[in-house]
Amino acid sequence: MSFLAPMAFAFAAAIPVLVVFYLLKRKRVVKLVSSTLLWQRFLAETQASTPFQKLRHNWLLILQILLVMAVILALARPYFSGKVVGGRLFVVILDASASMQSRDEEPSRFERARREALAFVDSLHASDQTVLLLAADHAEVKQSPTTSKSALRRAIGDCRVSDAPTRLGEAFKLAQPLVKDRADAEIHLYSDGAASDLEEFEHEGLRVVFHRVGSRARNAGVVSLDVRPHPEDPARRAVFAGLANASSNRVETEVELRFNDGLVETRSVAMEPRETVPLVFATSQAENGIFEVRMTFEDDLEADNRASVVSLLPEPVDLLLVTRGNRYLQRALVAAGNTRVAVASDVADGAGGFGVTVVDDVLPAAWPSNNVLAVRTVPPGAIEITGRQEVPAIVDWMTTHPLLRSVGLDNVQIDEALVALPPPWATAVVEAPGAPLILAGEFGRQRVVWIAFDLLQSSWPLRVSFPMFIANAVDWLNPATARRAELLVPAGSPLRWQAPADVTNATVRLPDGSERVVPVAAGSGVVVFGDTGRRGVYQLQAGTNAVTFCVNLLDARETDTAPQSELRFGRYARVVAGADRRASLELWRWLALAGLVVCFGEWWFYHRRTA
């Protein structure tokens, strides 16, 4: 048996005082009492000849001593701890992602998780070591291994919630080396369970205790946002927004489209339970600015009810087509819209003055330095060719990639294609068995789209999907599009911005009005700003260049605020939430009850004898 408050035994000094009172002789004073059963033998004493008397056997004294002992033991809080011993290691992971701001707990899920973590710290043995990790926009060690409860309380108090998606996978990567090969180590996770990046820990055998936080899913939010030229009227802008209803009830809300804080349009939207609704707003735009989509529905999570995007006026794209003659490709480039196409047989001066270079089955004397669409030709040092493949079949394509938006590749036949090893810098957006057919990525500071086959040796130019793909490729390779994409930053992800070479530092104004000074590494010319944990509009000043960028949540998993009943580590491993284990059994309630029984026992015994 152990005691949580052993200092309460100091009250045991009251027992000798109680005995002294029974040794003293008393001068009688008439008082009205409920019972005299235990006082009868003292009624005959009407005077005190000496100050002390002999201590006699007395049930009243015994009952009072028992009552005092029961109260003292209750204050000392005794408990049985079984096999629990000190010297253990605990890793506490506190989820600080956007969904933890949900107000289904009072005042929020994060605050309840913080309270539970503090209660856990209070219950630790004095020799237990604890590590505190914060899983916010990135995993962070808030407290290294320590036995100091005060240090842990300060670290938990310093934790702040963010508008970023969860990073539980990163937190478990930090926790794994600490608990590995220690049978007495445990990971305690305080979260709503909104995580899908834990598959790599399926076979690690981690001892995880999942403290689930959250009681309901009453939320709807903006999960996607984009601005593009209107497909039917390039002079206008089309704002594409996706709304999701994560609750189990029908949601009706007003959706506002604003431009530079002015109201443009309002629509009424009704969403069925667990439904995603796409919206398209068509509007004119006279200047560069910021479009904002705002929902008026009051739900548990505020962070995903708004989203903003920087919209820059479209600029013509200057294209250089290097080819031996491909009219299909040339016409598709002209039809892409807002393009100026120049045709050449080779690349001159690194394609200076052009935004995009298209190299069609030609090995240029000098590889262009701008963004490139390469058709059956290999950028130097970028792709390793291992052979050729006859009549490759298209087995898969990535429909979510911007290059393949509204593009289908059914019934496309190819005579021959190069076989390449997928490089680490590129993504295979179209694949044949064992080899990629189209790669896309950034090689150095160049955006590159690589096609493994000769377009004229395929049926693709005769399909409707071909000009659509070329239009998507021109838009993706357009430097203005790349700059526009850099201005839409996911919450928690860093901003990287190319600054003038003579700039040594930049200033960023946050949505709350505060400012941060960001140093620029000498010679790099790149501003890297990582404090993007809050949704809103940021302003960057680098020398004479002023840049506005937007940070949004736009994550359907965070919008779905339903607390998970279990945490999955891959296909088979899982941890059930709420599987609490009794580490100790406190007895103070029973001791307090025993004290009450002693008090009422005397009263009952008297009334039973006199009834």
- Burial grade of 197 (CB within 10 A; 0-12, 13-18, 19 or more): middle
Tell me the Ramachandran region of residue 261: left when phi exceeds 0, alpha when psi lies from -120 to 50, beta otherwise. Answer: left
CB 554 within 8 A of CB 307: yes
CB 435 within 8 A of CB 370: no
220 vs 108, 267, 452, CA distance in Å?
17, 16, 43
Instruction: Give the C-alpha separation, 378 to 453, whole Å.
Output: 11
Q: Which residues pair with 281 in a beta bridge?
A: 239
Q: Which residues pair with 445 in a beta bridge?
A: none
pLDDT tens for residues 281-330?
999 998 999 999 999 999 999 999 999 999 988 778 899 999 988 999 99
Q: Per-residue DSSP letters for 555-588?
A: -HHHH--PPPSEEEETTTEEEETT------EE-H
The secondary structure of 105-132, three-state, reads: CCCCHHHHHHHHHHHHHHCCCCCCEEEE
**Residue in 418, 437, 419 with CA at minimum distance from that of residue 428:** 437
Instruction: Indicate the helix (H) or strand (E) that contains 474.
Output: helix 465-477
The predicted pLDDT at position 105 comes to 93
The secondary structure of 132-199, three-state, reads: EEEECCCEEEEEEEECCHHHHHHHHHHCCCCCCCCCHHHHHHHHHHHHCCCCCEEEEEEECCCCCCCH
The predicted pLDDT at position 51 comes to 61
**Going from the N-terminus, what domains does the chain have, and what CATH number goes with each?**
2-81+595-610 (no CATH), 89-215+563-582 (3.40.50.410), 220-313+554-559 (2.60.40.10), 317-483 (3.40.50.880), 488-550 (2.60.40)
Helix (H/G/I), strand (E/B), else coil: 9 = helix
Residue 379's contacts (CB-CB under 8 Å, 6 or more residues apart) are 367, 372, 443, 448, 450
Instruction: Indicate the helix (H) or strand (E) that contains 94.
Output: strand 89-95
- Burial grade of 52 (CB within 10 A; 0-12, 13-18, 19 or more): exposed
Q: What is the pTM of this model?
A: 0.71
- DSSP at 41: G
Instruction: Give the C-alpha separation, 287 to 312, whole Å.
Output: 8
Query: Between the CA atoms of 232, 233, 237 and 238, what dihedral angle is there, to the nearest 10 degrees?
Result: -10
- Listed as ranges, residues in the chain with pLDDT below 50 are 46-49, 350, 579-580, 583
The predicted pLDDT at position 197 comes to 73
The predicted pLDDT at position 46 comes to 46
Residue type, 139: A
Q: Where are the beta strands (DSSP E) in 444-552?
A: 446-451, 488-490, 495-498, 505-509, 515-519, 526-529, 536-542, 545-552
CB 447 within 8 A of CB 426: no
Phi, psi of 456 (to 5 degrees): -75, -15
And the tokens for 470? 């070329």
Tell me the Ramachandran region of residue 224: left when phi exceeds 0, alpha when psi lies from -120 to 50, beta otherwise. Answer: beta
488 vs 67, 183, 224, 285, 301, CA distance in Å?
70, 45, 11, 18, 21
Distance separating the N- and C-terminal Cα atoms of the chain: 43
Q: Which residues pair with 536 in a beta bridge?
A: 551
Instruction: Give the C-alpha separation, 525 to 46, whole Å.
Output: 103
Give the residue carrying structure tokens 């009810």: 305
CA angle 486, 444, 170 (to 5 degrees): 65
Helix (H/G/I), strand (E/B), else coil: 394 = coil
295 vs 100, 242, 267, CA distance in Å?
20, 11, 10
Q: Please provide the size of the chain in residues.
A: 611
pLDDT tens for residues 30-57?
667 666 666 665 555 544 445 666 666 6
CB neighbour burial string for 313-337, b if at least 16 within 10 angstroms, e if fewer: ebeebbbbbbbeebeebbebbeebe
